[in-house]
Amino acid sequence: MKIVLALGGNALLERGQPLTATNLRNNIKKAAASIAAIAREHDVVIVHGNGPQVGLLMEQNYEYQKINSAVTAYPLDVLGAETCGMIGYMLQQELFNSDNKLSITTILTQTCVDIDDPAFNDPTKFVGPIYSEEEIDKINIANPSAIFKKDGDYYRRVVSSPIPQDIVESKQISNLLENGNTVIACGGGGIPVFKANNGNLVGVECVIDKDLTAELLAEQIKADLFIILTDGAVYLNYGKENQQAIKNITPEELDKYHFPAGSMGPKIDAVCKFVSKGLGDAAIGALDELSAVIAGHSGTRITLDEMVEYY
């Protein structure tokens, strides 16, 4: 079975953890063990997030610029490429360490966006570490262009997140799968680019939602199953006394409910879009229960079968 896995950047760095290479490595090691177990039996593409990591690079850029003003901040497409190399390297190595019989390839992937997408006027994508209200007041004094929104009890920086239109290297990804590779691709939603009038690709200042890019990739490589790995199942009335974990649901039923734009919303949009096209099933579930998610025993399964089931 051909499976596209969307692995969140926050799954690679637990909420509140310091953004250190050691913490990133330890979390990736856990992720790699779960993924390697299913990569032995399936053709797998891993699309990882990069929100915390690209946010860290943005902060480091800003701090260095205060020391040397001649070194201007690197644009987000370049920072995205840096995180693809960093996270891809660790994932590739730890997958090999989990099973040295796997053939693993990381490919830098460019994702085309529409330069006129209205999302550029309404930043929603969380990046970087969490801050208290007092901390962002201090940051805004020093860097007034930074935009922050509430994420739970804290605040995080937000940047523009346009809809992905095309994955430049999707054919190369298919070729790698056909030749027995486990592939790490479209990291951070892909390096954002647009195609100029002369046909050249040009980097764009934004971060693309990795779940939406993973869905587009699942379409383009004709995946059988699209899985978004997060904290667990999808809940109705989450955090309330009457919350319910969904086991099975159709896109039409799921579309009746509202989910936050900065977190679960894009995940729901992505899985519903894939399933609605009749390409296969989708699922949202926990990384440490990946095998059970594939078997339909854990997480939330989105399917065209007209049934709604709760745990």
Catalytic pick among 188, 267, 273, 280? 267
- Of 237, 131, 209, 222, the C-alpha closest to 174 is 222
Catalytic pick among 8, 10, 189, 285? 10
Contact indicator for 242, 81 with CB cutoff of 8 Å: no
Give CA 265 to chain center in angstroms. 13
Catalytic pick among 51, 55, 88, 125? 125
Neighbouring CB atoms inside 10 A of 65's CB total 14
Catalytic pick among 2, 210, 247, 273? 210
Q: Which residues is 164 bridged to in the sheet?
A: 113
| 9 belongs to the catalytic site | yes
Rounded Cα distance between 280 and 278, Å, is 6
Please name the helix (run of DSSP H) or strand (run of DSSP E) that holds residue 88, with its range, or none.
Answer: helix 76-98
| 267 belongs to the catalytic site | yes
3 state SS of 15: coil
| 10 belongs to the catalytic site | yes
| 222 belongs to the catalytic site | no
Catalytic pick among 9, 55, 88, 128? 9
- Of 47, 110, 122, 114, the C-alpha closest to 78 is 110
Rounded Cα distance between 83 and 74, Å, is 13
3 state SS of 200: coil
Active site residues: 9-10, 125, 210, 267
